[in-house]
Structure 1
Amino acid sequence: MASVVSSSAVGEKINEWYMYIRRFSIPDAEYLRREIKEELASLEDDQDLHLYYSLMEFRHNLMLEYLEPLESQRIEEQPRLSDLLADIDKKQARLTGRLDYYFNFFRGMYELECREYLSAIQFFKKAESKLTYVTDQIEKAEFYFKMSESYYYMKQTYFSMDYARQAYKIYHKQEAYNIRVLQCHSLFATNFLDLKQYDEAIQHFKKAYAMAEAEQQPQLMGRTLYNIGLCFNSQENYKPAIDYIKRAIAVFEDGNIITSLPQAYFLITQIHYKIGNMAIARQYHDKGVSYAKEAEDSLYIAEYEFLESLYVGEPDEEAIMECFDFLKDKLMYADLEDFALDVAKYYHERENFEKASAYFLKVEETRQQIQGGVKLYEIEV
């Protein structure tokens, strides 16, 4: 006679599954996912348990996409994130307590991956109001970490640093969370980079790279190499910047990590345009656009169009402004500031001081938006 599976036992297994997800332990998480799915078939009447499973399956797939998209190609029957989200949205009205927290937190993670930063902050703020239902310290660290990431992308440096420190204080005491510890080092580094504290940034990036290499995580290794290149680029030290970006590209291409290649190709293309290596820039440009289209990355498709509009032939100011409007709609003020500065310098070098001044004013206007950006987040949730 087949043994009877209880709802409480399956619920405990889902809790264990989530532990492996947070540790990025893909084999263990995938094994439990399949086991739980089979056991749920005999518990069709327990709709809350099925909803808990749906939320955790969504989080499982976010892990795969965040860490190494190639993994999802090795695992059979992985549903699309958008399909899982649509299914959960239909059931949202029934969510209460801890499940309501999970929904808002996981949805915020999804919006963050889609680069919808304001939307991500809104969902995270809703999740924060439900943190009273969370007693697990690691779960609180997960929340702090994602808030830090969100504020970093919105260039709210001190908010980002504060949340990153809170996450790190919890993670670094736990041996099983080395990946999150190295990601905290990367967050510290990127924020130090924004503060132009380059030595501190590179120190944290190199620590993160050593840990990523030890964990054998190509996605994280490549991202860290890219960020070290970005650090040298910010100092206009272009030779080491190019070297590190080439290393990042090699890691991403060897691992077939397509989603990370548009960004890496963009930066090396931009550098070669700036230093006048037009033929080399064009080669990187074409390949980067190809990867952006393959990844369906609308942001980088638009940003490659910006490079085309500025550096190929005479500047196309209408196309440049279209890119600026796109970035403004996405609240990508940091990129908008960088691009406006590129245009201003382009005209200044050609002694077109009237147009250069106009774009320098655009830079200043954008910086004011960034500095006052915290007001955007004080939204009713």
Structure 2
Amino acid sequence: MRAITFYRRAEKKLSQVSDEIERAEFYYKISEVFYHMKQTHMSMYYVKLAYDTYTANSTYVIREINCLTVVAGNYIDLKTHEKALVHFENTLKIARSLGNDSMVTKALLNVGCCHNDMGQYDKAVSFFHSAVEVGEKIKAKELIQAYYDLALIYLRKGERETGVSFFEKSLEYVQFFEDALFGRVLNVLKALYIDLGDREHVLCAMNELRNAAGFPYLEELALEAAEFYNRLERLDDSVYFYRQMIDAQKQIRRGDGLYEF
């Protein structure tokens, strides 16, 4: 990943930067890059540097929330969801204290996603609905994700009518925000759960996600497809999509050797 190469080159000159907030901003940005590359420990190292600076300056509360969100995301990648949940709940508390509907929507969505990953679907649905309630007031872009997650939960449960209604709401906001990437995500969900397509139909939709931005979604959706076919006892198809998931994971980590020290 070229971004890492440039960040590491810039880091060598960071000692010349006297403003500690500028240094914190640099550390936060590089922690995000490492997070998206699943380089969890590197991400944690840099986000801690940024967080320590922001918490020492009371005027940077939103930056503090952003750091905690990266920390929680890294804990999810480490499969320690209980630790992630603590940080997501903390960001929700801070966002509510600020009265910032945008930050509250994001925090509610993150708490819901964490419960969802933990298999606590009733709690997840409750937080997704809360995110929708706040997000609809300000037409937050997070509505795309909230409605998508609600659609997936209900479609997975076999409650087709409810699932399709949430799918259509997610699609409505995809079109409103002109979010082409998430449109491709919805195409996979449609192929799998609404069209009940065969392997090739689902794979064709997934192939549209084979790029740097799409691989994290492809990883999740390939696992969803594998589990979907496993429930149907179509084991060959299930194994096929497990392999697609593993390939996506490899693609995400391909940046490992592309930065210079």
Question: What's the secondary structure of 2:60's corresponding residue?
Answer: helix
CA distance in 2 between counterparts of 1:126 and 1:249 reads 42
Amino acid in the other structure paired with 1:196: K
Contact 2:101 2:135 in 1 (8 A): yes
Contact 1:154 1:331 in 2 (8 A): no
The 1:373/1:276 distance shift into structure 2, 3 A limit, reads farther
Matched, 1:378 2:259: yes
Amino acid in the other structure paired with 1:219: S
Larger Rg: 1
Specify which of 147, 154, 163 is matched with residue 281 of structure 1: 163
CA distance in 1 between counterparts of 2:106 and 2:21 reads 24
Question: What's the secondary structure of 1:328's corresponding residue?
Answer: coil
Instruction: Give CA deviations for 1:99-144 in whole Å, capped at 9, x if unaligned.
Output: xxxxxxxxxxxxxxxxxxx565466456445535422111010111
Cross-structure match for 2:232 = 350
Superposed displacement of residue 357, structure 1: 1.5
Cross-structure match for 1:25 = none
Superposed displacement of residue 189, structure 1: 1.2
CA distance in 2 between counterparts of 1:226 and 1:232 reads 10
CA distance in 2 between counterparts of 1:360 and 1:225 reads 30
Specify which of 182, 188, 191 is matched with residue 300 of structure 1: 182
Amino acid in the other structure paired with 2:137: D
Question: What's the secondary structure of 2:38's corresponding residue?
Answer: coil
Specify which of 221, 225, 229 is matched with residue 339 of structure 1: 221
Superposed displacement of residue 286, structure 1: 0.7
Alignment of 1:51-90 (within 5 A): none
Amino acid in the other structure paired with 2:92: Y
* Cα RMSD (Å): 2.2
The 1:256/1:314 distance shift into structure 2, 3 A limit, reads closer
Contact 2:37 2:253 in 1 (8 A): no
Superposed displacement of residue 332, structure 1: 3.5
Alignment of 1:23-172 (within 5 A): 118=1, 121=4, 124-125=7-8, 127-128=10-11, 130-172=13-55
Cross-structure match for 2:149 = 267
Superposed displacement of residue 307, structure 1: 0.6
CA distance in 2 between counterparts of 1:361 and 1:284 reads 29
Matched length: 261
The 1:289/1:127 distance shift into structure 2, 3 A limit, reads farther
Cross-structure match for 2:74 = 191
Superposed displacement of residue 219, structure 1: 1.3
Contact 2:47 2:67 in 1 (8 A): yes
Cross-structure match for 1:230 = 113
Q: Whose RCO is larger (CA < 8 A, sep 6+)?
A: 2
Instruction: Give CA deviations for 1:227-274 in whole Å, capped at 9, x if unaligned.
Output: 1111111122111011111111111111222x2221221111111111
Matched, 1:248 2:138: no
CA distance in 2 between counterparts of 1:191 and 1:159 reads 10
CA distance in 1 between counterparts of 2:203 and 2:5 reads 28
The 1:201/1:273 distance shift into structure 2, 3 A limit, reads same
Matched, 1:216 2:99: yes
Cross-structure match for 1:100 = none
